[in-house]
């Protein structure tokens, strides 16, 4: 626990970090949400949602804020929200918290191309993240999987059993040790792990 509190994800910058590519598999796992008209130039606001039930989807709070969907519940600490969405006869996904060193697969939509994309990588470390949407008490996971704007709200899958381990909330140019200022990791993707929202999610979709 002390290790988590001593690390801090620094300023987000640019449009993407790491490697990602077009993925037809992403279409099966996540949905795209927009306000405005998506184009190859990325005009309009775009994000990603994860179907949960026939009536609800999970996404990042900063995506829900600007989407056309009505919000069912906001997480009190993390950059997460449950929104109303007609998902048809969707099978509820299986969630499981991952561990450091585990292989993961990220799925979402690119703001730049409005196309489904995916990346692969490894869980690196737990870190603090504080911004307008995420309180420092909601510790997130940093990974070396690629991510691009628009993937926020998308799914992080544990590669070993294809369970969902978290929700993508962004990326960071660097992670520093808060005590020494030493650079520990560069250009990482960030996601909220399942352990941080398990109880909240269960309450949100049952109430």
**pLDDT for residue 39:** 44
Specify the pLDDT at position 36: 52
Encoded tokens for 10: 């620094």
Q: What is the pLDDT of residues 147-186, one digit of tens each?
A: 999 999 999 999 999 999 999 999 998 898 878 888 899 9
Domain-wise residue ranges, the chain:
2-206
Q: Give the pLDDT confidence score for residue 135 in this predicted structure.
A: 95
Contact at 8 Å (CB) between 121 and 190? no
What is the structure's pLDDT at 19? 94
Q: Collect the ranges in the chain with pLDDT lower than 70.
A: 1-8, 10-14, 35-45
Q: What is the CATH number of domain 2-206?
A: 2.40.10.120
Contact 46, 112 (CB under 8 A): no
């Amino acid at each position: 626990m002390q290790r988590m509190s001593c690390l801090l994800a620094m300023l987000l910058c640019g449009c993407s970090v790491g490697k990602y590519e077009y993925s037809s598999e992403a279409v099966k796992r996540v949905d795209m949400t927009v306000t405005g008209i998506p184009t190859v130039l990325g005009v309009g606001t775009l994000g990603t949602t994860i179907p949960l039930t026939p009536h609800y989807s999970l996404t990042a709070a900063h995506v829900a804020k600007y989407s056309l969907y009505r919000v069912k519940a906001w997480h009190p600490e993390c950059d997460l929200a449950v929104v109303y969405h007609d998902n048809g006869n969707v099978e509820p996904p299986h969630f499981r918290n991952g561990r450091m060193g585990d292989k993961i697969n990220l799925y979402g939509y690119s703001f730049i191309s409005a196309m489904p994309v995916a990346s692969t990588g490894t869980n690196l470390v737990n870190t603090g993240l504080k911004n307008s949407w995420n309180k420092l008490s909601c510790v997130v996971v940093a990974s070396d999987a690629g991510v691009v704007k628009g993937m926020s709200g998308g799914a992080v899958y544990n590669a070993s059993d294809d369970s969902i381990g978290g929700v993508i909330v962004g990326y960071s140019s660097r992670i520093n040790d808060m005590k020494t200022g030493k650079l520990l990791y560069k250009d990482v993707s960030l996601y909220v792990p399942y352990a941080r929202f398990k109880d909240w999610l269960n309450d949100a979709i049952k109430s």
